Protein backbone atom coordinates (compact mmCIF):
# COMPACT_ATOMS: atom_id res chain seq x y z
CA UNK A 1 0.00 0.00 0.00
CA UNK A 2 1.40 3.37 -0.97
CA UNK A 3 1.27 6.15 1.55
CA UNK A 4 2.16 9.72 0.93
CA UNK A 5 5.40 11.29 2.03
CA UNK A 6 3.49 13.96 3.92
CA UNK A 7 2.71 11.29 6.47
CA UNK A 8 6.39 10.84 7.16
CA UNK A 9 7.21 14.56 6.86
CA UNK A 10 4.61 15.37 9.51
CA UNK A 11 6.58 13.30 12.04
CA UNK A 12 10.01 14.86 11.27
CA UNK A 13 10.15 16.99 14.43
CA UNK A 14 9.75 13.86 16.57
CA UNK A 15 11.71 11.45 14.41
CA UNK A 16 14.61 13.78 13.56
CA UNK A 17 14.86 15.95 16.64
CA UNK A 18 13.09 14.01 19.42
CA UNK A 19 10.70 16.88 20.01
CA UNK A 20 8.33 16.36 22.92
CA UNK A 21 5.70 18.50 24.65
CA UNK A 22 6.13 19.83 28.20
CA UNK A 23 3.01 21.07 29.97
CA UNK A 24 3.00 24.28 32.02
CA UNK A 25 0.79 23.12 34.90
CA UNK A 26 2.12 19.63 35.59
CA UNK A 27 5.66 20.04 34.24
CA UNK A 28 5.21 16.61 32.59
CA UNK A 29 6.92 15.83 29.30
CA UNK A 30 5.32 13.54 26.70
CA UNK A 31 6.87 11.79 23.74
CA UNK A 32 5.45 11.71 21.14
CA UNK A 33 4.06 15.17 21.88
CA UNK A 34 0.47 15.52 23.00
CA UNK A 35 -1.73 18.60 22.89
CA UNK A 36 -3.74 17.64 26.00
CA UNK A 37 -2.06 16.64 29.28
CA UNK A 38 -3.71 13.36 30.43
CA UNK A 39 -2.95 14.30 34.05
CA UNK A 40 -4.50 17.76 34.20
CA UNK A 41 -6.35 18.35 30.95
CA UNK A 42 -4.02 21.33 30.44
CA UNK A 43 -3.32 22.37 26.85
CA UNK A 44 -0.64 24.99 27.51
CA UNK A 45 2.67 23.47 26.60
CA UNK A 46 6.05 24.11 25.04
CA UNK A 47 8.14 21.97 22.72
CA UNK A 48 11.29 20.55 24.29
CA UNK A 49 13.89 18.06 23.09
CA UNK A 50 14.42 14.76 24.86
CA UNK A 51 17.83 13.90 26.25
CA UNK A 52 19.69 11.47 24.00
CA UNK A 53 20.63 8.88 26.59
CA UNK A 54 18.59 6.35 28.51
CA UNK A 55 18.38 2.87 29.95
CA UNK A 56 16.51 -0.16 28.53
CA UNK A 57 13.38 -1.05 30.50
CA UNK A 58 12.55 -3.99 28.27
CA UNK A 59 13.37 -5.42 24.85
CA UNK A 60 12.71 -8.26 22.44
CA UNK A 61 14.50 -9.77 19.50
CA UNK A 62 12.17 -9.97 16.50
CA UNK A 63 13.06 -13.24 14.77
CA UNK A 64 10.00 -13.53 12.55
CA UNK A 65 10.08 -10.14 10.87
CA UNK A 66 7.30 -8.49 8.88
CA UNK A 67 7.78 -8.35 5.09
CA UNK A 68 9.27 -4.85 5.09
CA UNK A 69 11.96 -5.92 7.56
CA UNK A 70 12.54 -9.48 6.39
CA UNK A 71 16.14 -8.76 5.29
CA UNK A 72 16.96 -7.25 8.66
CA UNK A 73 15.83 -9.94 11.09
CA UNK A 74 16.71 -10.80 13.71
CA UNK A 75 16.66 -7.30 15.11
CA UNK A 76 16.32 -5.98 18.65
CA UNK A 77 13.58 -3.59 19.69
CA UNK A 78 13.20 -2.04 23.10
CA UNK A 79 11.71 0.61 25.33
CA UNK A 80 14.18 2.91 27.07
CA UNK A 81 13.61 5.31 29.91
CA UNK A 82 15.40 8.48 28.91
CA UNK A 83 17.42 10.59 31.33
CA UNK A 84 14.35 12.82 31.94
CA UNK A 85 12.01 9.90 32.68
CA UNK A 86 10.18 9.83 29.34
CA UNK A 87 9.98 6.51 27.49
CA UNK A 88 10.79 5.78 23.88
CA UNK A 89 10.51 2.65 21.75
CA UNK A 90 13.16 2.06 19.09
CA UNK A 91 15.39 -0.57 17.55
CA UNK A 92 18.68 -1.33 19.25
CA UNK A 93 21.44 -1.50 16.70
CA UNK A 94 25.23 -1.72 16.30
CA UNK A 95 25.40 -4.67 18.66
CA UNK A 96 24.91 -8.44 18.82
CA UNK A 97 21.19 -8.96 19.44
CA UNK A 98 22.02 -11.81 21.81
CA UNK A 99 23.80 -9.35 24.10
CA UNK A 100 20.90 -6.93 24.60
CA UNK A 101 19.82 -6.83 28.25
CA UNK A 102 17.36 -4.95 30.44
CA UNK A 103 19.17 -2.10 32.19
CA UNK A 104 21.60 -1.61 29.31
CA UNK A 105 22.53 2.04 28.78
CA UNK A 106 21.74 3.35 25.32
CA UNK A 107 22.28 6.49 23.27
CA UNK A 108 19.94 7.75 20.57
CA UNK A 109 21.34 8.06 17.05
CA UNK A 110 19.88 9.29 13.77
CA UNK A 111 19.47 6.31 11.45
CA UNK A 112 17.62 5.03 8.42
CA UNK A 113 14.57 3.15 9.74
CA UNK A 114 12.92 1.75 6.64
CA UNK A 115 14.60 1.25 3.27
CA UNK A 116 11.24 1.01 1.51
CA UNK A 117 8.29 2.10 3.50
CA UNK A 118 4.66 2.93 3.45
CA UNK A 119 5.77 6.50 2.89
CA UNK A 120 7.25 5.56 -0.50
CA UNK A 121 10.55 7.25 0.38
CA UNK A 122 13.41 6.40 2.67
CA UNK A 123 12.32 6.94 6.25
CA UNK A 124 14.78 8.13 8.85
CA UNK A 125 14.48 8.43 12.58
CA UNK A 126 16.07 7.33 15.82
CA UNK A 127 17.61 4.06 16.94
CA UNK A 128 19.35 3.12 20.16
CA UNK A 129 22.99 2.09 20.24
CA UNK A 130 24.67 0.67 23.34
CA UNK A 131 26.63 3.36 25.15
CA UNK A 132 29.86 1.41 25.17
CA UNK A 133 30.18 1.88 21.41
Q: Is 21 in the site for other proteins (CB under 8 A)?
A: no
87 is an interface residue for other proteins by CB under 8 A: yes
| φ, ψ at 120 (rounded to 5°) | 80, 0
The enclosing H or E element of 6 equals helix 5-9
13 φ, ψ to 5°?
-55, -40
Closest approach of Cβ 10 to other proteins, in Å?
9
Q: What does DSSP assign to residue 54? A: E
User: Which residue of 42, 60, 107, 110 would you call a contact of other proteins, by CB under 8 A?
Assistant: 60
Among 48, 51, 79, 84, binds other proteins (CB under 8 A): 79
Q: With CB under 8 A as the rule, give the number of residues binding other proteins.
A: 30
Distance CA 56, CA 33 (A): 21
Closest approach of other proteins to the CB of residue 62, in Å: 5
Residue 35 interacting with other proteins (CB under 8 A): no
Residue of 28, 4, 2, 20 whose CA lies nearest to 126: 20
Among 48, 57, 121, 129, contact with other proteins (rule: CB under 8 A): 57
How far, in Å, are 13, 17, 36 from residue 43 at the CA level? 19, 22, 5
Q: Is 113 in the site for other proteins (CB under 8 A)?
A: yes
State the residues that interact with other proteins by CB under 8 A.
Answer: 11, 30, 32, 57-67, 69, 72, 75, 77-79, 87-91, 102, 113-114, 123, 125
Amino acid sequence: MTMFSSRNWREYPQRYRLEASRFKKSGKTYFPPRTVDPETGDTEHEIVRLPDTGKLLTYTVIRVAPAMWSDEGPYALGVAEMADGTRVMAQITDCDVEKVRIGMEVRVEFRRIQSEGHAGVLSYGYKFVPRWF
